[in-house]
């Protein structure tokens, strides 16, 4: 595999061309310097106590959530991933476009094979146009449940701390939403794959690693008792704030299966609630939304299987007053319940791009390839009576009727070295037949996908429109 062997150095944005430099100097802007950062991410098993139980989870450097990567737009980061765990893992830099740097993108079996235990791999992550909040996560099976962290991308350095596309906040806080499973993740996943059944739901949600004071053993006000009985602090996450100040919350949704559609006999609907705080990308998402809005329901038919428990953080004011000593009250009379889809929708509708002169949002206007991709949850017929999915079969997700099988050589390597037999290039631009894709009743003859590794090859710099 290709690995980055570049020496530590200061790169500069001037590689974008002398004209750019001249222009910036003429308008009197300060020089923007791109920096190179180095991180060491050690994948290791670490014991954590949550929901009154201690278990070992895979972490980066022992932290859950993992370390924050903090850069300026235009910087480059080298992340040396040292795998001291028990199985192969890759890391992905979610939302970082990395043009012409595919070996460092990370999806397992697509751009690289897993980083084997006892070995290391150095990712070169190039931040080009991104700014705002992104995140990194493991990209192998369910490892990303515990292996993830935020990427904070500040405006380019030398621009006097700005320009933000909004008033510069007084302070900021990274908020990472995640899920917690009491069981062993590998065993849970292996069992689901073995039987073809639906994957298990989480036992709690967490904010910055904590399930909050509604969860047993997490009540900050019982901390002393808890330390006595469990030997480790498992408390509610607390944010200290000051009156009158403006805080930027960088919110990352690292929840594994936010709201899943569960195909039931004669019922199929996929629901998905994903929210990423990324003020630049949001505008782009908005422009594309015209092509068809995904339907969303938090409590619709078929979306029954997710954990309804609430996760809390405590916002505490610094200053000249005596804290009450008792837990703050949960504002249940003012907070919407999960059934209030209208509240969720109107919140989403309010999310708007903040595109300005300094934060452009260049949506391509010319399209060179159009695709219509059908994302579906179907089934594979069970050879015997051992399966526990829908109709006693195995559940299988698919794209335009193709269900993926992991290769032993990654796709990029096979492409680069012209190795045959790893993938086929026939991934269709359009489904072979049209029916009511969102119908309540779908016959078996459109529910069983083909297993394979079908790839769509595009030319560099094409503008592709994909309707999902
Ligand atoms: C985690 O805890 C178990 C049981 O207490 C112990 O055997 C194991 O060594 C611990 N693992 C780590 C990585 O500390
Ligand atoms: C593995 O890590 C060492 C330092 O710990 C580094 O010198 C080496 O380049 C790394 N190898 C890869 C393939 O990243
Ligand atoms: C959610 O998690 C809580 C705490 O473990 C548990 O009591 C509850 O049954 C879970 N709900 C579901 C739907 O799994
Ligand atoms: C979570 O909070 C909402 C809103 O206050 C409330 O309606 C709901 O009952 C809570 N859920 C649980 C499981 O306590
Ligand atoms: C919201 O939920 C109600 C009842 O569950 C449903 O009738 C309505 O269609 C939903 N609205 C949207 C926009 O999904
Ligand atoms: C069912 O078939 C699978 C795949 O052929 C096999 O691995 C499994 O042992 C079988 N189970 C039973 C109960 O026959
Ligand atoms: C790739 O391999 C195929 C046969 O497997 C061959 O026909 C083709 O010429 C090769 N292409 C290159 C660029 O080597
Ligand atoms: C497709 O099925 C959905 C769900 O039953 C239904 O609401 C919709 O009207 C159908 N569309 C067409 C074109 O029949
Ligand atoms: C599936 O079966 C239905 C009748 O049950 C038929 O109308 C339809 O053409 C079939 N579709 C395919 C792809 O065979
Ligand atoms: C999907 O693939 C299966 C297996 O090759 C085939 O039988 C089925 O007709 C295909 N369905 C559609 C909708 O193309
Ligand atoms: C990509 O294509 C656009 C026009 O569609 C062109 O302006 C741009 O220079 C191209 N970029 C590269 C790197 O080739
Ligand atoms: Cu991702």
Residues 29 and 112 occupy one common structural domain: yes
Give 131 or 149, the one with higher predicted confidence: 149
> Which pLDDT value is given to residue 162?
58
pLDDT in tens, 268-292: 222 222 223 222 222 222 222 222 2
Residues 195 and 248 occupy one common structural domain: yes
Distance 266 CA to ligand 9 centre (A): 15
> Which pLDDT value is given to residue 123?
98
Q: What is the CATH number of the domain that holds 352?
A: 2.60.40
Residues 457 and 376 occupy one common structural domain: yes
List of residues 6+ apart from 61 with CB closer than 8 A: 40, 41, 42, 44, 67
Residues 293 and 208 occupy one common structural domain: yes
Beta-carbon count within 10 A of 121 CB: 23
pLDDT in tens, 370-389: 999 999 988 999 999 889 88
Residues 260 and 285 occupy one common structural domain: yes
Distance 434 CA to ligand 1 centre (A): 54
Domain membership of residue 29 (yes or no) is yes
Q: What is the CATH number of the domain that holds 409?
A: 2.60.40.420
> Which pLDDT value is given to residue 228?
43
| pLDDT tier for residue 364 given thresholds of 50, 70 and 90 | confident
Residues 388 and 353 occupy one common structural domain: no
- Residues 170-182, mean pLDDT to the nearest whole number: 94
Q: How many domains does the chain have?
A: 3
- Residues 197-205, mean pLDDT to the nearest whole number: 87
- Residues 323-331, mean pLDDT to the nearest whole number: 74
Residue 177 domain boundaries: 166-362
pLDDT in tens, 293-325: 233 333 443 444 667 788 888 888 888 777 776
Distance 205 CA to ligand 5 centre (A): 25
Residues 376 and 455 occupy one common structural domain: yes
Residue 233 has pLDDT above 90, yes or no: no
> Which pLDDT value is given to residue 68?
98
Beta-carbon count within 10 A of 448 CB: 16
Residues 313 and 376 occupy one common structural domain: no
The pTM of the full predicted model, rounded to 2 decimals, is 0.83
Most confident of 157-161, 253-257, 320-324: 253-257
Between the alpha carbon of residue 140 and those of residues 60, 97, 233, 368, the distances in Å are 14, 20, 30, 32
Residues 449 and 336 occupy one common structural domain: no
- Asked if 208 and 190 touch (Cβ cutoff 8 Å), the reply is no
Residues 147 and 234 occupy one common structural domain: no
| Backbone dihedral region for residue 377 (phi beyond 0: left; psi -120 to 50: alpha; all else: beta) | beta
Q: Which ligand is nearest to the CA of 346?
A: 5
> Which pLDDT value is given to residue 234?
56
pLDDT in tens, 79-110: 999 999 999 999 999 999 999 999 999 999 99
Domain membership of residue 31 (yes or no) is yes
> Which pLDDT value is given to residue 36?
96
Domain membership of residue 13 (yes or no) is no
Residues whose beta carbons lie less than 5 angstroms from ion ligand 12: 94
Domain membership of residue 12 (yes or no) is no
Domain membership of residue 44 (yes or no) is no
Residues 253 and 358 occupy one common structural domain: yes
List of residues 6+ apart from 13 with CB closer than 8 A: 20, 32, 33, 34, 74, 156
List of residues 6+ apart from 41 with CB closer than 8 A: 60, 61, 66, 67, 79, 80, 81, 82, 91
Residue nearest to atom 2 of ligand 8 (CA): 439
Residues counted in the chain: 468
Domain membership of residue 27 (yes or no) is yes
d(CA 395, CA 389): 5
Residues 200 and 278 occupy one common structural domain: yes
- Residues 357-363, mean pLDDT to the nearest whole number: 75
């Amino acid at each position: 595999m290709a690995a980055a062997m570049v020496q530590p150095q200061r790169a500069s944005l001037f590689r974008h061309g002398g004209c750019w430099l001249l222009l910036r100097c003429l308008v009197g802007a300060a020089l923007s310097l791109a920096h190179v950062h180095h991180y060491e991410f050690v994948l290791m098993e670490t014991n954590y106590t949550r929901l009154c139980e201690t278990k070992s989870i895979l972490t980066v450097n022992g932290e859950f959530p993992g370390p924050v990567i903090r850069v300026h737009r235009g910087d480059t980061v080298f992340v040396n991933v040292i795998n001291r765990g028990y199985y192969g893992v890759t890391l992905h830099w979610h939302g970082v476009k990395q043009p012409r740097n595919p070996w460092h993108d990370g999806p397992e079996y697509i751009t690289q094979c897993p980083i084997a235990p006892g070995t290391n791999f150095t990712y070169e992550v190039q931040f080009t146009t991104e700014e705002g909040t992104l995140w990194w996560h493991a990209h192998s099976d369910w490892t990303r449940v515990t292996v993830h962290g935020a990427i904070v991308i500040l405006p380019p350095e030398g621009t006097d701390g700005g320009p933000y596309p909004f008033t510069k906040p007084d302070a900021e806080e990274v908020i990472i939403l995640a899920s917690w499973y009491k069981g062993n993740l590998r065993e849970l996943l292996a069992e689901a794959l073995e039987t073809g059944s639906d994957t298990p739901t989480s036992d709690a949600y967490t904010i910055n690693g904590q399930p909050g004071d509604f969860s047993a053993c997490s009540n900050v006000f019982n901390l002393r008792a808890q330390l006595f009985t469990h030997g480790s602090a498992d408390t509610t996450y607390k944010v200290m704030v000051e009156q009158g100040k403006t805080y930027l919350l960088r919110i990352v949704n690292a929840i594994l299966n936010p709201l899943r559609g569960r195909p039931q006999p004669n019922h199929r609907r996929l629901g998905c609630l994903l929210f990423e705080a990324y003020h630049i990308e949001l505008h782009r998402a908005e422009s594309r939304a015209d092509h068809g809005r995904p339907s969303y329901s938090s409590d619709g038919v078929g979306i029954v299987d997710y954990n309804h428990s609430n996760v809390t953080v405590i916002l505490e004011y610094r200053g000249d007053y005596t804290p009450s000593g008792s837990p703050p009250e949960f504002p249940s009379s003012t907070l919407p319940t999960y059934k209030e889809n209208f509240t969720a929708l109107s919140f989403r509708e309010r999310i708007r791009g903040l595109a300005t002169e300094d934060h452009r949002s260049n949506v391509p206007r010319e399209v060179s390839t159009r695709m219509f991709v059908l994302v579906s949850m179907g089934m594979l017929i069970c050879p015997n009576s051992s399966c526990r999915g829908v109709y006693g079969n195995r559940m299988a997700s698919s794209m335009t009727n193709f269900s993926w099988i992991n290769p032993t050589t990654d796709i990029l390597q096979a492409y680069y070295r012209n190795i045959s037999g790893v993938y086929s290039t026939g991934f269709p631009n359009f489904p072979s037949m049209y029916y009511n894709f969102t119908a309540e009743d779908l016959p078996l003859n459109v529910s069983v996908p083909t297993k394979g590794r079908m790839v769509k090859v595009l030319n560099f710099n094409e503008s592709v429109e994909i309707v999902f």
